[in-house]
Structure formats: structure tokens, C-alpha cells
Structure 1
Amino acid sequence: MRAAALSVWIFINLLCFGMCGYLYLIWSKYWMYLEKQRLFNPTVTLDGADLVLPESYNPTKLSRGSVLNSTEGRKSRRAAIGTYWSSSKLDETAKSAAHPPSHVEMRSRGGPRFPNVDHPVLQFDSDKYQCSDYTTDECAEKTEAFKRALLKEFHRVLMADSNVFKSGLDVHNTYNVQWSGGGGGGVRERAGGELRCALRRVAVRTVAAADEPFRSRGFRIPPVPPRRYRTCAVVTSAGALLGSQLGKFIDSHDMVLRFNNAPVENYTDDVGSKTTFRILNSQVVTKPEYRFPDDPLFHNVSMLIWDPANYSSTLEEWFEHPDFPLFPVYKRLLEDRKDADVHLLRPEVLWQLWAVLQDASPYRLRRNPPSSGFIGLWFALQQCARVRMFEYVPSARATRRCHYHGAAADAACTLGAWHPLAMEKAVAERMRDNSDVEVFQTGYIDVPGVGAEPCA
């Protein structure tokens, strides 16, 4: 009798747990549906309508067409860009046409239909959205269509990543991030000024000569020189820069910031030749294939190196357990180069930047540090009156090619597989104040430095 009662009790508990799990699954799917409707078209009432993509949308992966690779295609692109930069400013009618009112067709279905977040919205390696003449109405329409697709793709990736059943957000918390702030549903979308103020509050903090355990171990860390620039170019390593012909424009800036081992030789037409600063992750510093610091790429430039630590680690704990063994390499560099302007970013800064992203996100982000790209954007905004960042927010030249200097191809290089790239780029797009044509055709965002931002 006792065994029968115990069996019934176990059965009832399993049934209750199973129903609770099923209800949670349904609730999470319905929340994803509501989020998609709200974020893809904030003006629509959430009454069971279903998002309908244009009939021309084809999610099939396209290969880069012969027009883009042909000599004629490259010449026409270069001619268009040359015409664009030769004028004193973009034609005002084109700038106004770059912001036409957007709309998304909605059809009532009488009930919710859960979105399939596994199918990409954005087409890579396609000339579908590219313009040969930036001043036409057709170009304005292509630009607006690409912008809509890109922002939807950001939200699709973030929504998919926030699905705890797929991403294991609570399981894969390598850095033991303890976050109790906003994010994860229902937060108001922050405007560009609010985001710049949030980044302004994250101060540039590097390891100093007096910090332990570095002082007692003989690290001769130089003081950080004062930095203030009028214009700064932050040049990503994106494959879309190949063929862009942006080199001269990039070199015209007072400071040019590059990342990791991105070369300029043989690519100067597209990425320029000037390098003032490099942001390096600790893999580049420690892995032999990057030849740090012997490669000339790392000579005669200022450098900021970052390496993640646990969310609450002290400097001592970080020194004992870095992600990559960068400290002996850094010490040797300081001993060999007495005038080196090379510094280590304090690891707590990474999590302060991550917190800005999570606080601005309606989704739960992966608990991994931001990318070098976002670190570079934040750093430049602190030092510069005006920052132009190239191919961070993808243009219509968007490609699966990871780097302009390599053949590897993967959409995750643009949208993120480890870093919260989709949220980083959504935030960057929200902070810019230049025209859609400049962002999505020419290939750069223009962001005011945070020093002049009126923050509360």
C-alpha cells in the first residue's frame, strides 16, 4: 500500500513538472512572437497579426555575382565613390530620400504564429541593394530596404541567442557573470544620446605602474599620454572593405585605429596606409602565428591590449589566471622598447561595456565580453570629437568574408557567435547621426564623441 501511494505521488509530481515545463515553453515562444512584432514594427497593435516579408524575399544563400567580381563592376563602383567624395557634400535631395517612411505589411491571422528565428533575413554576397548612383530614388529605395533587412536580422539573431533552450545561456557562463540589471525583455529602446552617455560613464582604465601585482613584479608600465583628436577613423577588418576605395578618406583623419593583425600593405586603396593605434586581443599577443611583437605591424604604433577575466576578479586573480598568458610577453615588450606606448585594459572595463549592451537590450545576451570592434568604438568616442567607423554596421556590400585580408567566410563574423556582435552593431547604428546612404552604401557610421554629450 505504501509503495502504491509513493508511486502515485511520484507520478503526480512528474505530471506537474511536465506541465509547468510545457507551459513555460509556450510562454517563451509567445513572448518571442510579441517581441518580434514590437521590434520589427513598433506601430502595429499586437492583436495576432503576422509579419509578411516581401514576395521578392529569398532566403537562399547567394554567391557573389560576376558583376561584382568583373572589371566593369569594380570600375563602376569606384567611379561612383569617386564622384561621391569629389562633391563638397551629398546632394540634399538624396540625403532626404535616404530616410523615406518605412512600412511592413501586416495580415491578420486571428491568432499568434510563432516566428522561425532560424531563417536569415539578410542576404550576404549579393549586389541586390548596391547603387551605382547614390542620388537616385532607386538608390534611396534600395538603401531603405537594406536597412530594414539588416535591423530585422540583428533582432532575429538576438532573439535566437536569447532562447535558453538552444543557447544554454544559464549553463555557458564561463566568466561567472552576475547580472541583476535590465535586459531580457520589455525595456525601452534607448536613443543615441542615452547610449553615448552610458558609454561616457565607462572610463578608460588601464593597468598602472603602481598597481599590484605588477609593481612588485617589475613591470615598467609607462604613463598614459594625453590623447585628444578632432577626427578619428576606426577601421574594422570586415571583408566588405575589399573594393571599397575608402583608403584616402580613412587616411584623412587625425587618428586611425585598427585591430589585431589587420595589414595595410597591398590594401591601401581600400583601407588606407595610416595607423595611429591598434586594439589587440590577448590571442594575437600570445599565439606564435601572429609574430607579436616582432611583426612591423606592431612597431611605431600605440596599442591597447585586452584579455577577459571573471566578472568579479581582482587584478591579482586575473594575473594568476588570464585567458591567455600575455603578461610575460607584455613585460618583455616593455623591457625591449623603452618608449613603448602599450597598455593593458583593466578587465572590469570589459564587463562595464557588456553591462551597457545588456542594459540596452530587450534580450538576454550571451555572457561573453564585447568584441575588439566595440572596445575600439568606445575607446575612440572617449578620445575624439568625431568618430567614423568603417564597415562595423554592415553596408550593402555585406559579405560572408570574415576579413578583407583573408579568404575565410562565415556570417558569424558579422553577426556574432561568441561576442554579442548583433547587439553591439545595433547600438552603434542607433548612435550614428549621418545619412542612411553614407552608412549603408558608402560604408561608415559617423558618431559624435562622448566628450560633448550633455549627460545628466
Structure 2
Amino acid sequence: SLPGVGWKILAGLALVLGMAWYSISREERYLHLFPFPVQDDSMLCPPGEVEKKATLLLGNYTRDHPLFLQLNNYFWVKTPSPYELPYGTKGSEDSLLRVLAITSYSVPQSLQSMKCRRCAVVGNGLRLLNSSLGEAINKYDVVIRLNNAPVHRYEADVGSKTTMRLFYPESAHFDPKRENNPDTLLVLVPFKPMDFLWLETILNDKKRVHKGFWKQPPLIWDANPEQVRILNPYFMEITAAKLLNLPMKQLRKVKQKPTTGLLAITLALHFCDLVHIAGFGYPDSANKKQTIHYYEQITLKSMVASEHNISQETQAIKKMLDLGIIKNLTYF
């Protein structure tokens, strides 16, 4: 009778093993069908990686330049700025000093002390609409946004966290408190001397300046001066000279200027350990009726009069993607 029992035990074992194999292979089949992210490697921090790769792109690259202009060491280089705005501050010192006296320049300690800064630069492109990227964007340590792009009512697609927002007077959102977090740094990108004057009159509640802008900037802009910063024009200079190869010696003749978006990526290259972008890229130039932003109905036609060279900027971003300096969360 023992052999019979032995067979039963063997049969039972075979059955158990067979079921185990079946459940494992079934699980593998499910994993194959529904790949679960075991660990998101794209968010692992490679310290020094961006810095190293940026050197290939930007040449004698250094992170020694302060992000924001400050009053006490205003001449941040030993020699006065060789360029006028937007690439330097030559000729705009007086109005700049008045603005620096009422704003701040520090980088918050919470950002400064981070071992790894994982940054998302969020563009304003139409491809963010219905992307459901909001939750992913909020996971980054630093989220940089541009101009007047709204967050309110678009949270599911663009997220709700804003660490820095780059803007100039004509692109300032009239309600900064609604579209930003209380601790968002509102970073003025000065394109012309009038931009300092606008900020000064707004923050000091003086008589507003109406002339000298290509579009009427907000006359009321309720922002906390403590949160306002002035971007160091060095980053605009680097974007123009190194990414767009504009001839810096003949700047007066060259009307072209970098977009705030490309500038934000340059800033991220100097500040972050991981740079991901989302919502960059324009529709095909043949597609004249396609809207270009996720929040408003303007088309490529509106860019014709602007001083931006879209195809050149696209090439610059493609190059960065190819070199693996930045990664894209949307398609490009």
C-alpha cells in the first residue's frame, strides 16, 4: 500500500507545483499586460550629471553665477556689465537699484540645502491639455512655470505646485496669488529698462507708467515684494550666445531674443541635478489655425511679430534632448 501512498504524495506535489507554476506564469502574463512601475528610474538623482553634460553644450560652464541680482554686491562681476538689457544691465543701473531696494534676492534655504534638485520646467504648450500630468509634475522638488500660464482649473494636466514663475510685465498674470503658491518666487525677466519702472511703480503704488510696453501690463498686481526676484541677465546672455548662437558683439543689429521658456531651461541647467520638461514645442508651421497654448486661443500667427526664432529654439531643445541633458515628459 506504500507505493500507492507515495504516488498520491507525488501526484499531490505535482499538482501543487503545477498550480504554483500556473499562478506565477499567470502573474507574469498580467505583469506583461499591465506593467507596474517597480521603481521610477527616471526620477533617480544623478548628482553632477547635468552639470557635466551642460559643459559639453555651454563650454566654459560654471555654476558660480547668482540666480538673482542683489543690492549689496550689485556689480556681481568686477567690471560693469558690457551689455544692455536683456543681456546685461548697462544703462539701467539707477532704476534697477531702486527695484532691488524693495525686493529680495535670496534662494530659500529649503531649496539651497537640497542634496538633489529634481526640476520640472513646465511650458505653456497645447500638448499639456488632457495630458493628466498634474500629479507627476507635483512630485518634482522644483517646478518652474512661465508667464501668465494658469494653474487654477488646469491642475489635473499641469499640477498645482509652482516654485518659481518667470515673467515680464506684459506677461504677468493679473492675479498672482490665485495662480501661484504663497511661497512661489516671482522672477522678473527684464527685457528693457521700462520693466524695472513698472515693478517699482506697482510695488510702491506710485503713478503707473502706460507707455513703452508692447501690450498693457497689469495696473494692479497684488504680489508680496518679499517673493519677487530679478533674474540675473547672465542667463539670458548664455541662452542667446550658447544655445541660439546669436552674435553678442552685434546685438543692436540682432532683433531676435530668446523666449522665457528656453531661458527657464538654461536656468534649470545651472540650478538643478535633474531637468525634465513638459509642454514645450509648437504645432507644425503649416498648421496656422492650431492654438499654441493650453489655456488660450492664440495661434502661431501671434508669434510672427515676436522677436523669437521658433525653429532655432526647437533645434536647441532637440540638441539638449539628444545629449540627454534634459528629458521630455510630453512629446516634442
- Equivalent of residue 223 in structure 1, options 97, 105, 109: 105
The 8 Å contact of residues 255 and 276 in structure 1, kept in 2 or not, is answered as: yes
Q: In the aligned structure 2, how far is the partner of 1:323 from the partner of 1:357?
A: 26
- Per the alignment, residue 152 of structure 2 pairs with 265
Q: In the aligned structure 1, how far is the partner of 2:260 from the partner of 2:122?
A: 11
Distance 1:327 1:267, change over 3 A: same
Q: In the aligned structure 2, how far is the partner of 1:307 from the partner of 1:201?
A: 21
- Equivalent of residue 424 in structure 1, options 310, 313, 332: 313
Within 5 Å, which residues of 2 pair with 1:77-116? 86-88=36-38
Paired letter, 2:230: L
- Per the alignment, residue 239 of structure 2 pairs with 353
- Equivalent of residue 229 in structure 2, options 338, 343, 357: 343
- Equivalent of residue 241 in structure 1, options 125, 128, 138: 128
Paired letter, 2:118: T
Percentage identity across paired residues of the two chains: 21
The 8 Å contact of residues 283 and 290 in structure 2, kept in 1 or not, is answered as: no
Q: Does 1:301 align with 2:251?
A: no
The 8 Å contact of residues 308 and 369 in structure 1, kept in 2 or not, is answered as: no
SS in 2 for 1:369: coil
Q: In the aligned structure 1, how far is the partner of 2:156 from the partner of 2:66?
A: 32
- Per the alignment, residue 377 of structure 1 pairs with 265
Alignment gaps of 5+ in structure 1: 1-82, 91-190, 310-317, 446-456
Within 5 Å, which residues of 2 pair with 1:111-150? none
Q: In the aligned structure 2, how far is the partner of 1:218 from the partner of 1:253?
A: 30
Q: In the aligned structure 2, how far is the partner of 1:218 from the partner of 1:202?
A: 20
TM-score normalized by structure 1? 0.44
Deviation, 1:251, is 1.4
Distance 1:422 1:203, change over 3 A: farther
SS in 1 for 2:165: strand
Q: In the aligned structure 2, how far is the partner of 1:87 from the partner of 1:395?
A: 31
- Per the alignment, residue 164 of structure 2 pairs with 277
Q: Does 1:392 align with 2:280?
A: yes
Q: In the aligned structure 2, how far is the partner of 1:199 from the partner of 1:347?
A: 16
Distance 1:392 1:412, change over 3 A: farther
Paired letter, 1:266: R
Query: Between Structure 1 and Structure 2, how many residues are aligned?
Result: 240
- Per the alignment, residue 25 of structure 1 pairs with none
The 8 Å contact of residues 55 and 61 in structure 2, kept in 1 or not, is answered as: no
Paired letter, 1:221: T
- Per the alignment, residue 71 of structure 2 pairs with 209
Q: Does 1:328 align with 2:210?
A: no
Distance 1:330 1:195, change over 3 A: farther
Deviation, 1:265, is 2.2
Deviation, 1:431, is 1.4
Deviation, 1:254, is 1.1
Within 5 Å, which residues of 2 pair with 1:32-111? 86-88=36-38
The 8 Å contact of residues 244 and 316 in structure 2, kept in 1 or not, is answered as: no
- Per the alignment, residue 410 of structure 1 pairs with 300
Q: In the aligned structure 1, how far is the partner of 2:290 from the partner of 2:257?
A: 23
The 8 Å contact of residues 147 and 165 in structure 2, kept in 1 or not, is answered as: yes
Higher relative contact order (CA 8 A, sep 6+): 2
Paired letter, 2:56: E
Deviation, 1:249, is 1.5
Paired letter, 1:407: Q
SS in 2 for 1:87: coil
Q: In the aligned structure 2, how far is the partner of 1:412 from the partner of 1:335?
A: 28
Distance 1:193 1:222, change over 3 A: closer
SS in 2 for 1:359: coil
Higher Cα Rg, which structure = 2
Deviation, 1:222, is 2.3
Q: In the aligned structure 2, how far is the partner of 1:247 from the partner of 1:217?
A: 34
Q: In the aligned structure 1, how far is the partner of 2:188 from the partner of 2:118?
A: 22
The 8 Å contact of residues 240 and 404 in structure 1, kept in 2 or not, is answered as: yes
Deviation, 1:328, is 2.0
Question: What root-mean-square deviation, in Å, do the aligned CA atoms of Structure 1 and Structure 2 show?
Answer: 4.2
Distance 1:369 1:197, change over 3 A: same
Q: In the aligned structure 2, how far is the partner of 1:417 from the partner of 1:337?
A: 30
Paired letter, 2:148: N
Deviation, 1:375, is 1.3
Distance 1:390 1:200, change over 3 A: farther
401-410 vs 218-227, greater mean Cα deviation? 218-227
Distance 1:426 1:386, change over 3 A: same
TM-score normalized by structure 2? 0.58
SS in 2 for 1:258: strand
The 8 Å contact of residues 129 and 294 in structure 2, kept in 1 or not, is answered as: yes
SS in 1 for 2:229: strand
* Offset from partner CA, 1:395-414 (integer Å, 9 cap, x none): 99x9931211112222665x
Distance 1:304 1:85, change over 3 A: farther
Deviation, 1:255, is 1.1
Q: Does 1:401 align with 2:263?
A: no
The 8 Å contact of residues 240 and 246 in structure 2, kept in 1 or not, is answered as: no
Deviation, 1:384, is 0.9
Q: In the aligned structure 1, how far is the partner of 2:177 from the partner of 2:152?
A: 17
The 8 Å contact of residues 351 and 369 in structure 1, kept in 2 or not, is answered as: no
